[in-house]
């Protein structure tokens, strides 16, 4: 299969290219001309072909898709900051939302023009609206949450709605958990590892928010499987989502960090804002039952919990 990968140089890009090549697919990575030299070299080394095209330029995207005539398009477009802090995430939010929204529209238009039917879209499995138990794919997203979370949730609703409305396109929405593993924020040497060593990531309130994670390579495996599965949304998350008060101290220990501090919700609101409080106390874990059944998805245990199952607690 000929696969065009938008966002080939992002966090999941390398793992995806490896996975696609292992399954015998031909991979074309969409890169902006401004970054083409370095990106072209990286893609070539991995056995993919760089394809110049700016996701924010509709004509450029149409030309790129028309040139390759792929069998499928995978959209992993992001514009995230290098550091995971409330300030940097807020500063990058507008640009990231624009890249995702406009890139999605431009890719869909180019696919229609070239008759490409299969579309695999990056979506979110960690912004479900609060509720009992783990969320399945029919659960609503948190469009009424704190300001930043709500804005991101609405972006994903818009992305999926546009893709699923296109009757001539078979869309598969990969609702990923928080990425961890090589090249992500959640590693010993990554940004979150450094922050917990500095005790900059506290447990907020009771730390009852339930987080879903996924190893970057497991996410790539599921995405490759998305080229052949039934259209629809799939939660690509770990087997045992866990509360902040469980996963954060375990992550800190794995990073050789001191025990995280504990602060009240009021203190967190004053120092890091409402989104941080939401992630720590309101975020809802997701169920991967559908992906396990239909994609044969078998994610590895969350590595800093040392392979022991830690069920989410609710209430």
| pLDDT one-digit tens code per residue, 252-274 | 999 999 999 999 999 999 999 99
CB 78 within 8 A of CB 155: no
Average pLDDT score, the chain? 91
Q: Which comes out higher in pLDDT, residue 111 or 93?
A: 111
User: In this predicted structure, what is the pLDDT of residue 80?
Assistant: 64
The neighbour count for residue 293, using CB atoms within 10 Å, is 10
User: In this predicted structure, what is the pLDDT of residue 89?
Assistant: 59
CATH code of the domain occupying 2-184+213-239+287-299: 3.40.50.720
Output Rg (C-alpha) for the chain, integer angstroms: 19
User: Where in the chain are the domains?
Assistant: 2-184+213-239+287-299
- State which of 52-56, 108-112, 305-309 shows the largest mean pLDDT: 108-112
Q: What is the pLDDT of residues 10-25, one digit of tens each?
A: 889 999 999 999 999 9
Instruction: Enumerate the H helices of the chain as residue ranges.
Output: 13-22, 36-45, 58-68, 86-114, 147-165, 191-197, 216-225, 244-254, 265-271, 274-281, 289-294
What is the per-residue DSSP string for 66-108?
HHH--SEEEE------SS--HHHHHHHHHHHHHHHHHHHHHHH
Stretch 184-203: mean pLDDT, rounded?
94
Q: What does the DSSP 8-state code read for residue 286? A: B
User: In this predicted structure, what is the pLDDT of residue 310?
Assistant: 38
User: In this predicted structure, what is the pLDDT of residue 127?
Assistant: 93
User: pTM score, two decimals?
Assistant: 0.92
User: In this predicted structure, what is the pLDDT of residue 82?
Assistant: 55
Q: What does the DSSP 8-state code read for residue 130? A: P
Tokens of 312: 């989410």
How far, in whole angstroms, is CA 193 from its chain's centroid? 19
Q: What does the DSSP 8-state code read for residue 202? A: -
d(CA 131, CA 107): 34
Asked if pLDDT for residue 78 goes beyond 90, the answer is: no
How far, in whole angstroms, is CA 238 from its chain's centroid? 13
User: In this predicted structure, what is the pLDDT of residue 90?
Assistant: 65
């Amino acid at each position: 299969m000929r696969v065009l990968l938008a966002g080939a140089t992002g966090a999941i890009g390398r793992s995806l290219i490896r996975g696609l090549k292992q399954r015998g697919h031909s991979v074309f990575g969409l890169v902006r001309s401004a970054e083409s030299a370095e990106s072209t070299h990286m893609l070539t080394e991995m056995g993919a072909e760089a394809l110049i095209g700016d996701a924010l330029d509709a004509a450029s995207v149409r030309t790129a898709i028309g040139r390759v005539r792929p069998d499928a398009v995978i959209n992993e477009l992001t514009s995230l900051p290098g550091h995971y802090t409330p300030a940097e995430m807020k500063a990058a939010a507008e640009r990231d939302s624009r890249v995702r929204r406009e890139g999605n529209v431009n890719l869909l238009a180019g696919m229609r023009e070239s008759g490409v039917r299969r579309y695999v879209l990056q979506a979110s499995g960690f912004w479900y609206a609060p509720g009992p138990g783990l969320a399945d794919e029919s659960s609503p997203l948190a469009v009424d949450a704190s300001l930043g979370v709500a804005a991101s949730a609405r972006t994903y609703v818009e992305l999926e709605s546009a893709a699923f409305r296109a009757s001539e396109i078979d869309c598969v929405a990969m609702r990923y958990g928080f990425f961890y593993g090589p090249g992500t924020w959640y590693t010993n040497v990554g940004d979150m590892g450094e922050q917990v060593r500095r005790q900059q990531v506290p447990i907020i309130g009771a730390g009852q928010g339930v987080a879903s994670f996924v190893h970057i390579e497991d996410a790539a495996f599921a995405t490759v499987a998305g080229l052949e599965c039934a259209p629809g949304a799939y939660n690509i998350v770990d087997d045992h989502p866990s509360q902040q008060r469980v996963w954060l101290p375990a992550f800190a220990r794995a990073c050789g960090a001191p025990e995280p501090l504990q602060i009240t919700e009021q203190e967190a609101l004053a120092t890091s804002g409402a989104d941080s409080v939401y992630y720590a106390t309101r975020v809802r874990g997701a169920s991967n039952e559908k992906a396990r059944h239909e994609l044969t998805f078998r994610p590895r245990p969350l590595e800093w919990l040392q392979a022991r199952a830690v069920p989410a607690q609710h209430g």
